[in-house]
Amino acid sequence: MKREKFDAFVKYVQALEEKLEAAEDARDAAKYRARKAGKTADVLQALTEDVLRGTAAVREWLGSPSHTILELSTRTGIPYATCHRIVNERLGTPNVEIGHLKKMVSAVSRDRRPFAPGVASHPRYRRVLFGLPKGLAEEELISSWEIKGSEVSTVHGGLEIAQMMEKLQPDLILVDVSMPNLEKSGLALLKDFAKDTKRTIVLTGEIVETNSALLQGSFEKRTKAEELASEGEIAGG
Amino acid sequence: MDNKNYEIRRDDLEGDELPLSLPDADKQKVELAIAGLAKEPWPRQFSAKEVSDGTVKITVPVEDDEITVLYEVDVYESTVDLIRMKRRGPFKKAGEWLAGLMKFEPKGKS
Protein backbone atom coordinates (compact mmCIF):
# COMPACT_ATOMS: atom_id res chain seq x y z
CA MET A 1 0.00 0.00 0.00
CA LYS A 2 1.33 3.37 -0.89
CA ARG A 3 2.10 5.78 1.92
CA GLU A 4 -0.56 8.30 0.87
CA LYS A 5 -3.22 5.61 0.77
CA PHE A 6 -2.11 4.27 4.13
CA ASP A 7 -2.27 7.73 5.72
CA ALA A 8 -5.66 8.39 4.16
CA PHE A 9 -6.92 5.10 5.57
CA VAL A 10 -5.66 5.94 9.06
CA LYS A 11 -7.29 9.37 8.88
CA TYR A 12 -10.54 7.75 7.78
CA VAL A 13 -10.47 5.40 10.76
CA GLN A 14 -9.68 8.33 13.08
CA ALA A 15 -12.64 10.28 11.70
CA LEU A 16 -14.82 7.21 12.14
CA GLU A 17 -13.70 6.89 15.72
CA GLU A 18 -14.55 10.54 16.40
CA LYS A 19 -17.98 10.06 14.86
CA LEU A 20 -18.57 7.00 16.98
CA GLU A 21 -17.70 8.90 20.14
CA ALA A 22 -19.88 11.85 19.11
CA ALA A 23 -22.77 9.47 18.39
CA GLU A 24 -22.36 7.91 21.82
CA ASP A 25 -22.44 11.35 23.44
CA ALA A 26 -25.50 12.38 21.45
CA ARG A 27 -27.25 9.12 22.38
CA ASP A 28 -26.57 9.66 26.10
CA ALA A 29 -27.71 13.27 25.89
CA ALA A 30 -30.91 12.14 24.16
CA LYS A 31 -31.48 9.44 26.78
CA TYR A 32 -31.10 12.06 29.51
CA ARG A 33 -33.57 14.38 27.80
CA ALA A 34 -36.09 11.55 27.46
CA ARG A 35 -35.75 10.75 31.18
CA LYS A 36 -36.16 14.42 32.03
CA ALA A 37 -39.22 14.75 29.78
CA GLY A 38 -40.81 11.75 31.53
CA LYS A 39 -40.21 13.32 34.91
CA THR A 40 -41.49 16.66 33.69
CA ALA A 41 -44.73 15.05 32.55
CA ASP A 42 -45.22 13.48 35.98
CA VAL A 43 -44.51 16.71 37.82
CA LEU A 44 -46.67 18.67 35.44
CA GLN A 45 -49.56 16.31 36.02
CA ALA A 46 -49.17 16.71 39.77
CA LEU A 47 -48.89 20.48 39.62
CA THR A 48 -51.50 21.30 37.04
CA GLU A 49 -54.38 21.14 39.46
CA ASP A 50 -52.50 23.28 41.95
CA VAL A 51 -51.65 25.85 39.31
CA LEU A 52 -55.24 25.98 38.22
CA ARG A 53 -56.58 26.29 41.76
CA GLY A 54 -54.19 29.11 42.52
CA THR A 55 -54.93 30.87 39.27
CA ALA A 56 -58.64 30.57 39.86
CA ALA A 57 -58.21 32.01 43.35
CA VAL A 58 -56.36 35.02 42.01
CA ARG A 59 -58.94 35.59 39.33
CA GLU A 60 -61.72 35.45 41.86
CA TRP A 61 -60.05 37.96 44.14
CA LEU A 62 -59.10 40.33 41.39
CA GLY A 63 -62.24 39.95 39.39
CA SER A 64 -60.00 40.04 36.33
CA PRO A 65 -57.44 37.62 34.97
CA SER A 66 -55.47 40.18 33.02
CA HIS A 67 -53.33 41.51 35.85
CA THR A 68 -51.82 38.37 37.14
CA ILE A 69 -48.74 36.47 36.33
CA LEU A 70 -48.17 33.29 38.23
CA GLU A 71 -44.70 32.02 38.76
CA LEU A 72 -43.75 28.40 38.35
CA SER A 73 -40.81 26.89 40.12
CA THR A 74 -37.76 26.46 37.99
CA ARG A 75 -37.00 23.34 39.97
CA THR A 76 -39.83 21.46 38.35
CA GLY A 77 -38.17 21.83 34.97
CA ILE A 78 -41.49 22.48 33.30
CA PRO A 79 -41.21 24.81 30.31
CA TYR A 80 -43.09 28.05 30.86
CA ALA A 81 -44.65 27.82 27.42
CA THR A 82 -46.18 24.47 28.37
CA CYS A 83 -47.64 25.79 31.60
CA HIS A 84 -48.85 28.93 29.91
CA ARG A 85 -50.60 26.85 27.27
CA ILE A 86 -52.16 24.47 29.76
CA VAL A 87 -53.41 27.21 32.05
CA ASN A 88 -54.83 29.16 29.14
CA GLU A 89 -56.42 26.14 27.54
CA ARG A 90 -57.98 24.96 30.77
CA LEU A 91 -59.13 28.36 31.96
CA GLY A 92 -59.77 29.95 28.60
CA THR A 93 -57.90 33.06 29.70
CA PRO A 94 -55.36 34.20 27.14
CA ASN A 95 -54.24 36.99 29.47
CA VAL A 96 -52.95 34.81 32.26
CA GLU A 97 -49.20 34.78 32.05
CA ILE A 98 -46.56 32.71 33.76
CA GLY A 99 -43.22 34.23 34.57
CA HIS A 100 -40.28 33.97 36.86
CA LEU A 101 -38.28 36.59 38.69
CA LYS A 102 -34.90 34.91 38.33
CA LYS A 103 -35.45 34.40 34.64
CA MET A 104 -36.35 38.03 34.17
CA VAL A 105 -33.28 39.22 36.04
CA SER A 106 -31.10 36.81 34.08
CA ALA A 107 -32.47 37.99 30.74
CA VAL A 108 -32.00 41.64 31.65
CA SER A 109 -28.45 41.02 32.88
CA ARG A 110 -27.59 39.19 29.70
CA ASP A 111 -29.32 41.25 27.03
CA ARG A 112 -29.42 44.67 28.72
CA ARG A 113 -32.95 45.28 27.59
CA PRO A 114 -36.25 45.54 29.41
CA PHE A 115 -37.75 42.18 30.01
CA ALA A 116 -40.73 41.02 31.93
CA PRO A 117 -42.79 37.93 31.31
CA GLY A 118 -45.65 38.73 29.01
CA VAL A 119 -44.68 42.35 28.40
CA ALA A 120 -41.33 41.88 26.71
CA SER A 121 -42.75 42.70 23.31
CA HIS A 122 -44.80 45.64 24.57
CA PRO A 123 -42.44 47.82 26.58
CA ARG A 124 -44.66 50.87 26.31
CA TYR A 125 -45.04 51.52 30.00
CA ARG A 126 -44.31 55.11 30.93
CA ARG A 127 -44.14 54.68 34.70
CA VAL A 128 -42.81 51.46 36.12
CA LEU A 129 -42.60 50.53 39.80
CA PHE A 130 -40.42 47.70 41.03
CA GLY A 131 -41.05 46.19 44.43
CA LEU A 132 -38.10 43.89 44.72
CA PRO A 133 -35.67 42.59 47.33
CA LYS A 134 -32.54 44.71 47.72
CA GLY A 135 -29.59 43.88 45.51
CA LEU A 136 -31.48 41.90 42.94
CA ALA A 137 -29.82 43.29 39.82
CA GLU A 138 -31.67 46.47 40.66
CA GLU A 139 -29.49 48.85 38.65
CA GLU A 140 -29.60 46.65 35.59
CA LEU A 141 -33.34 46.31 35.79
CA ILE A 142 -33.83 50.04 36.18
CA SER A 143 -31.43 51.09 33.43
CA SER A 144 -32.84 48.54 31.01
CA TRP A 145 -36.28 50.11 31.35
CA GLU A 146 -34.98 53.68 31.44
CA ILE A 147 -33.20 53.19 28.14
CA LYS A 148 -36.59 52.51 26.61
CA GLY A 149 -37.93 55.75 28.06
CA SER A 150 -39.76 54.44 31.10
CA GLU A 151 -39.68 56.35 34.36
CA VAL A 152 -38.65 53.73 36.91
CA SER A 153 -38.98 53.72 40.68
CA THR A 154 -38.03 51.01 43.11
CA VAL A 155 -39.16 50.13 46.60
CA HIS A 156 -37.74 47.47 48.85
CA GLY A 157 -40.39 47.19 51.51
CA GLY A 158 -44.11 46.66 51.57
CA LEU A 159 -44.78 49.84 53.53
CA GLU A 160 -43.40 52.01 50.73
CA ILE A 161 -45.48 50.39 48.04
CA ALA A 162 -48.72 52.09 48.92
CA GLN A 163 -47.03 55.51 49.10
CA MET A 164 -45.35 55.03 45.76
CA MET A 165 -48.51 53.74 44.17
CA GLU A 166 -50.22 56.94 45.24
CA LYS A 167 -47.36 59.20 44.16
CA LEU A 168 -46.31 57.52 40.95
CA GLN A 169 -49.50 55.93 39.67
CA PRO A 170 -47.49 53.40 37.69
CA ASP A 171 -48.62 51.80 34.45
CA LEU A 172 -46.77 48.65 35.35
CA ILE A 173 -45.74 47.22 38.68
CA LEU A 174 -43.50 44.25 39.24
CA VAL A 175 -43.68 43.15 42.80
CA ASP A 176 -42.21 40.37 44.86
CA VAL A 177 -44.92 39.48 47.31
CA SER A 178 -42.50 38.00 49.80
CA MET A 179 -40.93 41.42 50.45
CA PRO A 180 -40.54 42.43 54.08
CA ASN A 181 -43.02 44.65 55.90
CA LEU A 182 -46.09 44.01 53.86
CA GLU A 183 -48.74 45.58 56.01
CA LYS A 184 -51.62 44.24 53.97
CA SER A 185 -52.18 40.69 52.90
CA GLY A 186 -50.74 39.81 49.53
CA LEU A 187 -54.18 39.45 48.04
CA ALA A 188 -55.32 42.82 49.35
CA LEU A 189 -52.26 44.38 47.75
CA LEU A 190 -52.99 42.57 44.52
CA LYS A 191 -56.47 44.03 44.51
CA ASP A 192 -55.04 47.52 44.97
CA PHE A 193 -52.52 47.03 42.23
CA ALA A 194 -55.09 45.60 39.87
CA LYS A 195 -57.31 48.61 40.48
CA ASP A 196 -54.59 51.20 40.04
CA THR A 197 -52.28 49.90 37.31
CA LYS A 198 -52.63 48.76 33.76
CA ARG A 199 -50.75 45.66 34.63
CA THR A 200 -49.37 43.92 37.67
CA ILE A 201 -46.81 41.20 37.61
CA VAL A 202 -46.58 39.11 40.71
CA LEU A 203 -43.19 37.61 41.33
CA THR A 204 -42.94 34.98 43.99
CA GLY A 205 -41.22 31.77 45.03
CA GLU A 206 -42.47 28.26 44.60
CA ILE A 207 -45.79 27.91 42.86
CA VAL A 208 -47.06 25.30 45.27
CA GLU A 209 -46.38 27.49 48.29
CA THR A 210 -47.67 30.53 46.51
CA ASN A 211 -50.89 28.86 45.57
CA SER A 212 -51.36 27.47 49.04
CA ALA A 213 -50.91 30.96 50.41
CA LEU A 214 -53.32 32.34 47.85
CA LEU A 215 -55.91 29.77 48.74
CA GLN A 216 -55.52 30.63 52.39
CA GLY A 217 -55.99 34.26 51.50
CA SER A 218 -52.60 35.53 52.62
CA PHE A 219 -48.98 35.67 51.66
CA GLU A 220 -47.88 36.46 55.19
CA LYS A 221 -47.66 32.85 56.23
CA ARG A 222 -45.11 32.12 53.58
CA THR A 223 -43.16 35.25 54.36
CA LYS A 224 -43.05 34.35 58.02
CA ALA A 225 -41.90 30.83 57.18
CA GLU A 226 -39.12 32.28 55.05
CA GLU A 227 -38.00 34.57 57.85
CA LEU A 228 -37.86 31.67 60.26
CA ALA A 229 -36.03 29.55 57.74
CA SER A 230 -33.43 32.25 57.19
CA GLU A 231 -32.89 32.42 60.93
CA GLY A 232 -32.23 28.70 60.89
CA GLU A 233 -35.30 27.79 62.89
CA ILE A 234 -36.73 25.60 60.17
CA ALA A 235 -34.37 22.97 58.90
CA GLY A 236 -34.03 22.96 55.14
CA GLY A 237 -36.49 25.85 54.80
CA MET B 1 -18.05 36.83 31.75
CA ASP B 2 -20.73 36.74 34.41
CA ASN B 3 -19.97 36.14 38.06
CA LYS B 4 -22.86 33.89 38.79
CA ASN B 5 -22.58 30.48 40.36
CA TYR B 6 -24.12 27.51 38.64
CA GLU B 7 -25.81 24.86 40.73
CA ILE B 8 -24.33 21.45 39.99
CA ARG B 9 -26.95 18.70 40.04
CA ARG B 10 -26.24 14.98 39.99
CA ASP B 11 -29.81 13.67 40.15
CA ASP B 12 -29.60 11.90 36.79
CA LEU B 13 -25.91 11.17 36.61
CA GLU B 14 -24.90 7.89 35.01
CA GLY B 15 -21.54 6.59 36.17
CA ASP B 16 -21.61 8.43 39.49
CA GLU B 17 -19.67 5.53 41.01
CA LEU B 18 -16.77 5.94 38.56
CA PRO B 19 -14.64 8.26 40.74
CA LEU B 20 -14.72 5.62 43.49
CA SER B 21 -12.70 3.31 41.28
CA LEU B 22 -9.99 5.92 40.72
CA PRO B 23 -6.89 6.52 42.81
CA ASP B 24 -7.31 9.36 45.30
CA ALA B 25 -5.36 11.89 43.25
CA ASP B 26 -7.42 11.19 40.12
CA LYS B 27 -10.65 11.18 42.08
CA GLN B 28 -9.79 14.61 43.42
CA LYS B 29 -8.91 15.82 39.94
CA VAL B 30 -12.28 14.75 38.55
CA GLU B 31 -14.23 16.18 41.49
CA LEU B 32 -12.35 19.47 41.22
CA ALA B 33 -13.10 19.66 37.50
CA ILE B 34 -16.81 19.11 38.23
CA ALA B 35 -16.83 21.60 41.08
CA GLY B 36 -15.18 24.14 38.77
CA LEU B 37 -18.23 24.00 36.47
CA ALA B 38 -20.08 26.05 39.07
CA LYS B 39 -17.93 29.03 38.09
CA GLU B 40 -17.13 28.20 34.49
CA PRO B 41 -19.40 25.71 32.70
CA TRP B 42 -17.25 25.77 29.54
CA PRO B 43 -13.74 25.22 30.93
CA ARG B 44 -11.09 25.47 28.24
CA GLN B 45 -8.52 23.55 30.24
CA PHE B 46 -10.73 20.46 29.99
CA SER B 47 -11.45 20.93 26.27
CA ALA B 48 -15.12 21.75 26.77
CA LYS B 49 -17.00 20.79 23.65
CA GLU B 50 -20.65 21.49 22.75
CA VAL B 51 -22.17 18.08 21.94
CA SER B 52 -25.63 19.41 21.15
CA ASP B 53 -27.64 22.46 22.09
CA GLY B 54 -26.88 23.06 25.74
CA THR B 55 -25.06 19.75 26.19
CA VAL B 56 -21.36 20.02 26.85
CA LYS B 57 -18.58 17.49 27.34
CA ILE B 58 -15.31 17.93 29.18
CA THR B 59 -12.36 15.56 29.21
CA VAL B 60 -10.37 15.27 32.41
CA PRO B 61 -6.94 13.66 32.03
CA VAL B 62 -6.11 11.12 34.74
CA GLU B 63 -3.37 8.53 35.18
CA ASP B 64 -3.33 6.29 32.06
CA ASP B 65 -6.79 7.37 31.04
CA GLU B 66 -9.21 10.21 30.47
CA ILE B 67 -12.60 10.74 32.10
CA THR B 68 -15.30 12.40 30.08
CA VAL B 69 -18.14 14.22 31.79
CA LEU B 70 -21.26 15.02 29.82
CA TYR B 71 -23.61 17.66 31.20
CA GLU B 72 -26.35 20.09 30.33
CA VAL B 73 -25.98 23.80 31.02
CA ASP B 74 -29.02 26.00 31.59
CA VAL B 75 -27.90 29.62 31.61
CA TYR B 76 -31.34 30.89 32.53
CA GLU B 77 -31.70 28.70 35.57
CA SER B 78 -27.95 28.76 36.34
CA THR B 79 -27.79 25.00 36.58
CA VAL B 80 -25.42 22.32 35.39
CA ASP B 81 -27.05 18.88 35.23
CA LEU B 82 -24.49 16.10 35.11
CA ILE B 83 -25.57 13.43 32.62
CA ARG B 84 -22.80 10.88 32.30
CA MET B 85 -19.31 10.19 33.50
CA LYS B 86 -17.20 7.56 31.82
CA ARG B 87 -13.68 6.42 31.08
CA ARG B 88 -12.41 7.34 27.67
CA GLY B 89 -9.82 4.56 27.78
CA PRO B 90 -10.85 2.56 24.68
CA PHE B 91 -11.17 5.67 22.50
CA LYS B 92 -7.97 7.10 23.87
CA LYS B 93 -6.01 3.90 23.24
CA ALA B 94 -7.42 3.53 19.73
CA GLY B 95 -6.54 7.16 19.05
CA GLU B 96 -3.00 6.68 20.29
CA TRP B 97 -2.59 3.49 18.24
CA LEU B 98 -3.79 5.28 15.10
CA ALA B 99 -1.53 8.22 15.80
CA GLY B 100 1.32 5.72 16.11
CA LEU B 101 0.41 4.25 12.74
CA MET B 102 0.65 7.67 11.15
CA LYS B 103 4.22 7.96 12.39
CA PHE B 104 5.13 4.49 11.16
CA GLU B 105 7.98 4.48 8.67
CA PRO B 106 8.49 1.15 6.82
CA LYS B 107 12.07 -0.11 6.93
CA GLY B 108 14.18 0.46 3.87
CA LYS B 109 12.25 3.51 2.80
CA SER B 110 13.95 6.83 2.90
pLDDT above 60 (res A183) = no
> Which residues numbered 64-93 in B keep a CB inside 8 Å of some CB on A?
68, 70, 72, 75-78, 81, 83-84, 91
Instruction: Decide if B29 contacts B60 (C-beta within 8 A).
Output: yes
The residues, any chain, with a CB within 8 Å of residue B9's CB and separated by 6 or more, are: B79, B80, B81, B82
For the stretch A114-127, pLDDT in tens is 555 555 444 467 78
The residue that leads in pLDDT, A123 or A68, is: A123
Please name the member of A25, A102, A110 whose beta carbon is closest to the beta carbon of B57. Answer: A25
* Residue B56: pLDDT band with limits 50, 70, 90: very high
Note the residue count of chain A: 237
Distance CA A166, CA A230 (A): 32
> Closest-CA residue in chain B for A13?
B98
Q: How many CA atoms lie within 13 A of A235 on its CB side?
A: 0
Distance CA A180, CA A231 (A): 14
The pLDDT value given to residue B69: 95
Q: Do B55 and A7 touch (CB under 8 A)?
A: no
The pLDDT value given to residue A2: 74
The pLDDT value given to residue B73: 87
The mean-pLDDT minimum among A82-96, A213-227, B62-76 falls in: A213-227
Residue B12 sits at the chain A interface (C-beta within 8 Å): yes
Instruction: Decide if A98 contacts A142 (C-beta within 8 A).
Output: no
pTM across the whole model:
0.44
Q: Do B2 and A109 touch (CB under 8 A)?
A: yes
User: Where do the H-state alpha helices sit in chain A?
Assistant: 3-62, 80-91, 101-111, 138-147, 158-168, 186-196, 207-215, 220-230
For the stretch A124-173, pLDDT in tens is 677 888 877 666 556 767 777 777 778 888 887 666 777 787 788 777 77
pLDDT above 70 (res A175) = no
DSSP for residue A177: T
pLDDT above 50 (res A112) = yes
Q: Do A103 and B77 touch (CB under 8 A)?
A: yes
Please name the member of A3, A17, A32 whose beta carbon is closest to the beta carbon of B95. Answer: A17
Strand ranges in chain B using DSSP code E only, listed in sequence order: 7-9, 49-52, 55-62, 65-74, 79-87
With an 8 Å Cβ cutoff, the interface of chain A facing chain B consists of 3, 6-7, 10-11, 13-14, 17, 20-22, 25-26, 28-29, 32, 35-36, 74, 102-103, 106-107, 109-110
* Average of per-residue pLDDT values in chain B: 84
* Residue B59: pLDDT band with limits 50, 70, 90: very high
Q: What is the mean pLDDT of residues A188-203?
A: 58
* Average of per-residue pLDDT values in chain A: 59
The pLDDT value given to residue B25: 93
